[in-house]
Structure 1
Amino acid sequence: MNSEQYLILLTFLWVGFVSAISFMEAWLKFRAPGVTLPIGLSIGRLIFRGMNKVEWFFGLASLVLIIGSGSLGITTSFLLFIPIVVLLLQTTWLLPAMDKRAEMVISGAELPKSALHFYYIGAELVKVVLLFAFGVTLLGNL
C-alpha cells in the first residue's frame, strides 16, 4: 500500500470511530437501565478522553502521510486541516469545559443548561463531513 491508500484507510477509520462514539454511544448509554446521570457522565468522561487520544493519533498520522506523499493539492489538504483545527478546539476548550461541568454534576451540583453539548455535536458534524469529503476526494485521486 502507498501513503495515499494508508491515508484513505486512516480517514475512514476516523470517520467510523467518531460516528460510532459521538452519534451512537454518547446518547445510548443514558437509555440503559440503571444508568443515572452521574454514572453516564462518568462513563462519558472516560470514553471521550480515550476517543480524543485516538483522534490525535489519526490526525497526526494523517499529517505525516500527507507530508510524506507531498502530492495532495491545497484543497484536498484543507479538507483535513479543518477537522484537525476542530479537534484542537475540542481538546483545548470544549472537552475541558464539558469535563468541568460533568465533575460538578457528578458531585451533586445542579447547573443551568449549557450550549456546550450543542457546540460539541456541531463540531463533530463538521469534522465527520469534512473527513468523509477528504476520503472521497482521495478515492477519486486513485
Structure 2
Amino acid sequence: MAPEHYLILLTFLWVGFVSAISFMEAWLKFRAPGVTLAIGLSIGRLIFSGMNKVEWFFGLASLALLFVSGFFGDSMAFFLYIPILILLLQSIWLLPAMNKRAELVISGAELPKSVLHFYYIGAELVKVIMIVSFGVTLLGTL
C-alpha cells in the first residue's frame, strides 16, 4: 500500500478512537451503578491520559505519513494541522487544568461550576470535524 493509503486508514482510526472515548465513554461511565463522581473522575483521568498518548501517536504518525506521501505542503494538510494544534493545547493546558480540578473534587473539595469541560467538548468536536475533513479530502485525491 502507498503511504497515503496508510494515512487514510490512520485518519479514520483516529476519528473512531476519539469519538468512542470522548462522545461515549466520557458520559456513560457515570451511568453505571455504583460509580460515584469521585470514581468517575478517577476513571476519566486515567482514560483521558491514555487517550492523549494514543492521540499523539496518531498525530505524529499522520504527520510522518503526510510528509512521506508528499502532501505535507498541500493545502489539505491544514485539516490535519488544526487537530494537532488542538491536541497540543489539550496536552499543555486543558487536560492538566481538568486533572487538577478532578483531584480537588476527588479529595472532597466543593468547587464552583467550570467551563473547562465545555472547552474540551468543543475542542473535540472541532478536532473530529477537521480530521474527517482531512480524510475525506485525502480520499478525493486518490
TM-score relative to the length of structure 1: 0.98
Contact 2:105/2:111 (CA < 8 Å) preserved in 1?
yes
Please tell me whether residue 12 in structure 1 is matched to residue 12 in structure 2.
yes
Q: Aligned residue pairs: how many?
A: 142
For 1:1-142, what aligned pairs fall within 5 Å after superposition?
A: 1-71=1-71, 74-142=74-142
**4+ runs deviating over 6 angstroms:** none
* In 2, Cα distance between equivalents of 1:35 and 1:70: 48
Any idea what the Cα deviations from partners look like across 1:87-119, whole Å, max 9, x if unmatched?
A: 000000000000000000000000000000000
Q: CA deviation at 1:70?
A: 1.4
Q: CA deviation at 1:19?
A: 0.2
Contact 2:30/2:36 (CA < 8 Å) preserved in 1?
yes
Any idea what the Cα deviations from partners look like across 1:50-74, whole Å, max 9, x if unmatched?
A: 0000000000000001111114553
Any idea what the Cα deviations from partners look like across 1:35-87, whole Å, max 9, x if unmatched?
A: 00000000000000000000000000000011111145532100000000000
TM-score relative to the length of structure 2: 0.98
* In 2, Cα distance between equivalents of 1:84 and 1:109: 33
Which SS does the other structure have where 1:113 is aligned? coil
Q: Which moved more, 1:73-82 or 1:114-123?
A: 73-82
Gaps of 5+ in 2: none
1:128 is matched by which residue type in structure 2?
Answer: V
* In 2, Cα distance between equivalents of 1:125 and 1:75: 21
RMSD: 0.8
Contact 2:8/2:138 (CA < 8 Å) preserved in 1?
yes
Gaps of 5+ in 1: none
